[in-house]
């Protein structure tokens, strides 16, 4: 748990660094496809509200340094975290690369699937039940879904059960052998076009 929190903390700052350097995490020869649009406005609103909240609280507790300093530290840390999460969503997109597909989400998720494990890639919009787990067992096998607001629009069928590793412990995290992957892409047509040359 502490290790996972530490890795997430490091990725906050590395994502901010990537944003400053304008270096998205896309392999050479690959195409980055974003997934942030459905939540971008909400995240920006939270960042702006947090940025406004810090000086207001500082003004209120200014006479009491023992209270002011911890609140200031926590406020700045929280704001930095949200900025890092935004940068991660923008600079760590899904990546369709010569070696395979990187399915990503925020600071932690980066599931790599090589092309020899991919049978097909298709546009397939789907709305799942709220709070459904990423890993589900159905008639077609074990599915991994990286949703955005309960929706996916890309379906990756696999040649065989393929082992992926998700952050955290089972059953939500850990290793799972999946037969299909569903994800949300802001530009599903661009995702499909980027994948097509590698599927021939």
Give the pLDDT score at 66: 94
Tens of pLDDT along 126-179?
A: 999 999 999 999 888 999 999 999 999 999 999 999 999 999 888 889 999 999
CA dihedral sign of residues 97, 103, 104, 110: negative
Q: What is the average pLDDT value for the chain, to the nearest integer?
A: 95
Give the pLDDT score at 200: 76
Q: What is the mean pLDDT of residues 31-45?
A: 97
Percentage of the residues of the chain whose pLDDT score is greater than 90: 89
Q: How confident is the model at residue 2 (pLDDT cuts 50, 70, 90)?
A: confident
Min mean pLDDT across 18-22, 29-33, 42-46, 137-141 is at 137-141
Q: What is the mean pLDDT of residues 89-101?
A: 97
Token couple for 173: 């995290």
Helix (H, G, I), strand (E, B) or coil at 158: strand
Give the pLDDT score at 96: 98
pLDDT of residue 4 exceeding 90, the answer is no
Where are the alpha helices (H) located in 92-163, listed in sequence order?
none
Give the pLDDT score at 139: 83
Tens of pLDDT along 54-86?
A: 999 999 999 999 999 999 999 999 999 999 999
Higher pLDDT pick, 100 / 6:
100
Give the pLDDT score at 188: 98
Q: What is the pTM of this model?
A: 0.89
Give the pLDDT score at 8: 86
Residues 176 and 92: their CA atoms lie apart, in Å, by: 23
In whole angstroms, what separates CA 92 from the centre of its chain? Answer: 7
Specify the pairing of strand 118-127 against strand 151-166.
Answer: antiparallel
Domain locations in the chain as residue ranges: 2-91, 94-199
**DSSP-derived secondary structure for 130-186:** TT--SEEEETTEEEEEE-BTTEEEEEEEEEEEEEEEESSSTTTSEEEEEEEEEE--S
Helix (H, G, I), strand (E, B) or coil at 78: helix
């Amino acid at each position: 748990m502490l290790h996972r929190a530490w890795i997430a903390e490091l990725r906050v700052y590395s994502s901010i660094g990537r944003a400053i350097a304008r270096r998205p995490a896309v392999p050479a020869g690959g195409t980055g496809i974003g997934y942030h649009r459905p939540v971008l406005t909400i995240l920006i609103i939270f960042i702006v509200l947090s940025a406004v909240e810090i000086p207001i609280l500082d003004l209120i507790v200014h006479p009491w340094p023992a209270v002011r300093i911890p609140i200031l530290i926590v406020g700045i840390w929280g704001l930095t975290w949200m900025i890092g999460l935004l940068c991660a969503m923008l600079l760590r997109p899904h990546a369709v690369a010569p070696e395979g597909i990187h399915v990503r989400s925020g600071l932690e998720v980066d599931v790599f699937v090589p092309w020899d494990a991919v049978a097909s890639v298709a546009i397939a919009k789907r709305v799942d039940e709220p709070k459904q787990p990423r890993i589900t067992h159905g008639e077609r096998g074990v599915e991994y879904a990286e949703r955005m607001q309960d929706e996916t629009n890309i379906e990756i069928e696999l040649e065989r059960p393929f082992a992926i590793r998700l952050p955290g412990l089972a059953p939500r995290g850990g290793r799972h052998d999946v037969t299909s992957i569903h994800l949300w892409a802001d530009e599903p047509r661009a995702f499909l076009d980027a994948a097509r040359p590698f599927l021939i």
